[in-house]
Amino acid sequence: MDARRFHAQAVELLRGGRPVDCRSAISRAYYGAFHVAAEILRRNGFPILEKATAHEQVKRHLLGSRDTTVIAIGSQLGDLRSMRNKADYELRLAKAEDKKTAELWVSSAGQHIRSLEASFAGPNRAKIVAAIQEWKKQSGT
């Protein structure tokens, strides 16, 4: 499956605008960004596990890149995951049901996807990959 479909579904869900649509859009947006990041890392030689620990693993790899754009995405991916957890589990949190809030998170996830794809396809790709390899070596992961 193409992980980008999760983000596309998030965009579709926003059209409904109901509380359940907003919560689901936030959740799908996170999973789109997360899975695209994991896919990009795997494609560049980093074995990302397909289990619950993968969320932190992806974030740490991005943070170890020494690339300001990729580091920012790693940090923001953590924020998006936190909001996804709130949308999925904190049913009393009205903010997760607000359409403007959901639009912000969905838009942010889309930007993360585009920026990661550009970063790993651009001229800095080799430096990013080398930095992550060095980080893994130093951290023992």
Segment 1-22, tens digit of pLDDT: 899 999 999 999 999 999 999 9
Q: What is the mean pLDDT of the chain?
A: 95
* Count of the separate structural domains present in the chain: 1
Give the pLDDT confidence score for residue 41 in this predicted structure. 98
Judged against a pLDDT cut of 80, whether residue 74 lies above it is answered with yes
User: For the range 9-15, what are the long-range contacts, defined as Cβ-Cβ under 8 Å and sequence gap of 24 or more?
Assistant: 10/106, 10/109, 11/106, 11/110, 14/99, 14/102, 14/103, 14/106
Give the pLDDT confidence score for residue 52 in this predicted structure. 87
In this structure, the dihedral spanned by the alpha carbons of residues 69, 82, 26 and 54, taken in order and rounded to 10 degrees, is: 70
Note if the pTM is more than 0.85: yes
Judged against a pLDDT cut of 80, whether residue 121 lies above it is answered with yes
pLDDT band at 141 (very low <50, low <70, confident <90, very high): confident
Give the pLDDT confidence score for residue 73 in this predicted structure. 97
Residue 36, domain extent: 4-139
Looking at the chain, list the stretches that DSSP marks H as alpha helix, in order from N- to C-terminal side.
4-16, 19-43, 54-63, 68-89, 99-121, 125-139
Give the pLDDT confidence score for residue 119 in this predicted structure. 97
Give the pLDDT confidence score for residue 51 in this predicted structure. 86
Residues 20-70 have pLDDT tens digits of 999 999 999 999 999 999 999 999 999 998 888 999 999 999 999 999 999
